[in-house]
Amino acid sequence: MKKPIAGGAGSVAGLEVALPHPRATQPQRLTRFLENERALAAILLAPTVLILGTFIAYPFIMGVWLSLSSTSVGNVGEFVGFKNFAKAWNDSIFRTAFGNTFYYTFWATIFKLTLGMWLALLLNRHFRGKRIVRASMLLPFIVPTVLSTFAWRWMFDPTFSVLNWLLYKGGLITTKLPFLSDGVYGMWCAITVNTWRGMPFFAITLLAGLQTINPDLHEAASLDGANGWKRFWHVTWPLLKPVTVVVVVFSVIQTFSDFQLIYVLTGGGPANSTHLLATYAYQVGVATGLLGEGAAISLFMLPVLFVVVWLQLRYLRRMEGA
Amino acid sequence: MDAKELNRRQFIKVTTATAAAAATGIEGIIAARRAPAYAQGTKLHMVRWVDFIPESDVELKRQMPEASKALGAEVVLETINANDLQPRITAAIQSGSGADIFIMLWNWAQLYGSSLVDVSDLATALARSEGGFYDVWPASAYVSGKWLALPHSIIGNAVAYRRSWLREVSANGYPKTWDEARRVFAQLKQKGKPYGQTLGHTFGDAPTFSYPMLWCFGGAETNPSGAKVAINSKGAVESVKFMQAFWKECCDEGGLAWDDTNNNRAFHAGEISATLNGASIYIVAKRQRDKIKDEKGEPMWQDIDHAPLPSGPAGRFHLYLPMSHAIMKYSKNPKLAKELLRWLHKKENYEKWFLTQEGYSVGATKSWENHPMWGKVDEPLRMFRTAARTTRIFGHAGPATAKATEVFSKYIITDMYAKAVQGLSAEDAVKWAAAELKQIYEG
């Protein structure tokens, strides 16, 4: 004997389907619309596109337009082509800032990488209080840059430097060291502070990378007679390279466009010897009100960073493919 | 029925008085003894620098509720670091929102002219009622036939020095010429008591020293029309050469990294024997006599005196700091903002602020030279009374245009000296400055 199928003809449910139901058409249409993958993708992506468009694309396009115009504070400018770029290139302060930016980024990244790697290797070992040390290591990275830089500025103060006082009392110097009042010292003070601040980011990321390396590999290498250096060079380093490349890319971008640290520590002085592209762009664009020229100076960073990122990502892809 | 009629009459009376007050300005408001008819919750935001005389900010903040009551709107005063003013003004103008009134230093009204409200009515009335403005004001705030900022005050400067320390090297009073100063401070530096001077990127003490140094040797930024750069001259080279020697022999070389506060702190700590500054070193030392003491434990202010900058071969020149207030065009309440400025300049209000300054600032108009305060202030402060008569402004020998402000904002004149004292030859330092100035004035 055949059992009646629920909802089939003759059943109560079947009768219900047959009745007119005006509201049911709406959700059906919506469901059909959402079942369309393209439409759903567009809806899901829309908020992200809107946010990226508003906060990244619009300011970027605006920056490009400003750099090609004679806009100054309160005055809508005219299109001037590459005049602002040419003017910047002919400006000796710009060229100093351009060179300083490379110098500062290069040395700060080298130090952050070296010291960050060293710290990561130390923290990868087992010792008592490891968690506390790991957490406290992040402090320089957590404290707002402006605050920590003010503290450094106080330590490097030309008249009341606590570092000079300590060195003098320790019998290591007889006259004050010109921490911020000499161009070369000033730049190295800035590199020191940047390294102090950025090193934890390197250390913690490299530490995460180190912990993904299978200890058996080290054990096998030890059994084969590899010493500590050989184990690092032939086992740890090749496996850590992808993480390192990503960290270096991030760091180069951040350091190349650094602003707060220099602004607070030296203001670009003495005599522009510590100006970076970001601080000089700010001085020209915001402090002096020449928005077009300021935008052109800051846009000089774009091709440089683009090439750095492109080279490093290309290298990364090649490693992944190998 | 009767009660209803009475209420209607009362209502008409109140609204008429309020409308009359609004129409007739502050005099009308005071006469009507009522606040004007600004929408409830109307706010007026004013941004000034953090004054080097803290008591003056206290006084102005104390006055704000009184101003709010008189104007019928909430007046808010915000004080920020002077080096942050220009970025803040630029951001406000570009976004079309921010404070209704900004303090303008130097000749900034030239730079932001297109975004400022014409306050010629206020300026003309103020000058007429108070004996006229000093000569520096048209160059500072009068742009294309309009007053775009209302002159408020001028901060004089002088060399604050330790009388007893100069006597130690047989200096009878402060040196009159730069050559004498070099002899005196070379001896003092050898005793560990150098001259303190900033050549850093800072708005006040660096340009007030470096521009007069250029002028007193006959140097100038441009020719009188302002069209041609004139800095590559014998006078400018001589001034840089002098500065190189003075720096090495006489100055605290840490000054290259000083801002406007470092010399105050160094002086009060007994680290330097003299420094170019406003009167704040003396005033603060006197007001904090229990804290600021000399090496003998005596209050330091008793040993401080003031002198004008020494003369160079071309004479003696000064650069004092004119301070004015500008109303921003984007302000929704420009009339109210004008009324606030008028209220601040009413004699009884301005005077209270003026007295707290004790000579650190002088008035924008000449009549304040005759204020009885000058008869009561200490002898070292009296020289500031007429200080504003002689000041020059940026751009000399040309006009103080926005281009002159650009030169100042980029610290080019100061950096010319800073580069030279760090080892660049005087000729090359001047050439560097000339190239930078050409980009700005002739580019």
Looking at the structure, tell me whether residues B340 and B427 fall in a common domain.
no
User: Are A282 and B86 in contact (CB < 8 Å)?
Assistant: no
Chain B: residue whose CA lies nearest to A291: B90
Q: Looking at residue A286, what DSSP letter applies?
A: I
The answer to whether residue B269 is domain-embedded is: yes
Q: What is the pLDDT of residues A142-165, one digit of tens each?
A: 899 999 999 999 999 988 999 999
Looking at the structure, tell me whether residues A175 and A35 fall in a common domain.
no
User: Does the pLDDT value for residue A55 go beyond 70?
Assistant: yes
Looking at the structure, tell me whether residues B273 and B300 fall in a common domain.
yes
Chain B: residue whose CA lies nearest to A176: B254
For residue B38, give every residue at least 6 positions away whose Cβ sits within 8 Å of its Cβ, in sequence order, or none: B22, B71, B72, B73, B333, B336
In angstroms, the separation between the Cα of residue B423 and the nearest Cα of chain A is 11
Alpha-carbon gap, residue B4 to B55, rounded angstroms? 52
User: Are B256 and A181 in contact (CB < 8 Å)?
Assistant: yes
Which residues in chain B have Cβ-Cβ distances shorter than 8 Å to A182? 256, 422
Looking at the structure, tell me whether residues A104 and A161 fall in a common domain.
yes
Alpha-carbon gap, residue B21 to B27, rounded angstroms? 8
Chain B: residue whose CA lies nearest to A83: B443
A87 inside 8 A of chain B by CB: yes
CATH classification of the domain holding A101: 1.10.3720.10
Q: Which ipTM score applies to this complex?
A: 0.81
The answer to whether residue B25 is domain-embedded is: no
Chain B: residue whose CA lies nearest to A290: B406
Domain end, chosen from A67, A83, A116, is at A67
Smallest CA-to-CA distance from B147 within B394, B325, B392 is with B325
Mutation to test the B interface, candidates A265, A288, A290, most B Cβ within 10 Å:
A288
Looking at the structure, tell me whether residues A250 and A205 fall in a common domain.
yes
Looking at the structure, tell me whether residues B142 and B177 fall in a common domain.
no
Both tokens of A261, joined, read: 């640290």
Which residues in chain A have Cβ-Cβ distances shorter than 8 Å to B418? 269-271
Q: DSSP for A205-256? A: HHHHHHTTS-HHHHHHHHHTT--HHHHIIIIIHHHHHHHHHHHHHHHHHHHH
Alpha-carbon gap, residue A127 to B53, rounded angstroms? 55
CATH classification of the domain holding B351: 3.40.190.10
Pairing assessment for the beta strands B274-277 and B158-162 based on DSSP bridges: antiparallel
Looking at the structure, tell me whether residues A182 and A62 fall in a common domain.
no
Looking at the structure, tell me whether residues A200 and A154 fall in a common domain.
yes
The answer to whether residue A17 is domain-embedded is: no
Looking at the structure, tell me whether residues A52 and A124 fall in a common domain.
no
User: Are A270 and B432 in contact (CB < 8 Å)?
Assistant: no
- Of residues B94, B199, B252, nearest to A73 (C-beta): B94
End-to-end CA distance of chain A: give it in Å, rounded. 67
Count of structural domains, chain B: 2
Q: Which residues of B touch A (CB under 8 A)?
A: 83, 86-87, 89-91, 93-94, 111-115, 199-202, 252-259, 262, 265-266, 269, 271, 405-406, 409-411, 415, 418-419, 422, 432, 435-436, 439, 443
pLDDT of chain B along its 443 residues, tens only? 344 444 555 544 544 444 444 444 445 444 544 555 566 668 999 999 999 899 999 999 999 999 999 999 999 999 999 888 998 999 999 999 999 999 999 999 999 999 999 999 999 999 999 999 999 999 999 999 999 999 999 999 999 999 999 999 987 889 999 999 999 999 999 999 999 999 999 888 999 999 999 999 999 999 999 999 999 999 999 999 999 999 999 999 999 999 999 999 999 999 999 999 989 999 999 999 999 999 999 999 999 999 999 999 999 999 999 999 999 999 999 999 999 999 999 999 999 999 999 999 999 999 999 999 999 999 999 999 998 998 999 999 999 998 998 899 899 999 999 999 999 999 999 999 999 999 999 87
The answer to whether residue B16 is domain-embedded is: no
Chain B: residue whose CA lies nearest to A289: B90
**Residue B260 belongs to domain spanning:** 158-318+410-441
A282 inside 8 A of chain B by CB: yes
User: Are A287 and B409 in contact (CB < 8 Å)?
Assistant: yes
What is the pLDDT, as a whole number, of residue A21?
Answer: 57
Looking at the structure, tell me whether residues A57 and A122 fall in a common domain.
no
Of chain A residues 141-170, which have a CB less than 8 A from chain B?
157-160
Which residues in chain A have Cβ-Cβ distances shorter than 8 Å to B259? 267
**Residue A175 belongs to domain spanning:** 96-286+300-321
Count of structural domains, chain A: 2
Q: Count A/B contacts: CB-CB distance under 8 Å.
A: 116
For residue B353, give every residue at least 6 positions away whose Cβ sits within 8 Å of its Cβ, in sequence order, or none: B56, B59, B60, B63, B344
Are B203 and B157 contacting, i.e. CB atoms less than 8 angstroms apart?
Answer: no
Chain B: residue whose CA lies nearest to A177: B254
The answer to whether residue B388 is domain-embedded is: no
Looking at the structure, tell me whether residues B188 and B298 fall in a common domain.
yes
Looking at the structure, tell me whether residues A171 and A243 fall in a common domain.
yes
Are B337 and B44 contacting, i.e. CB atoms less than 8 angstroms apart?
Answer: yes
What is the pLDDT, as a whole number, of residue B390?
Answer: 84
For B45, list phi and psi in degrees, rounded to 5: -115, 125
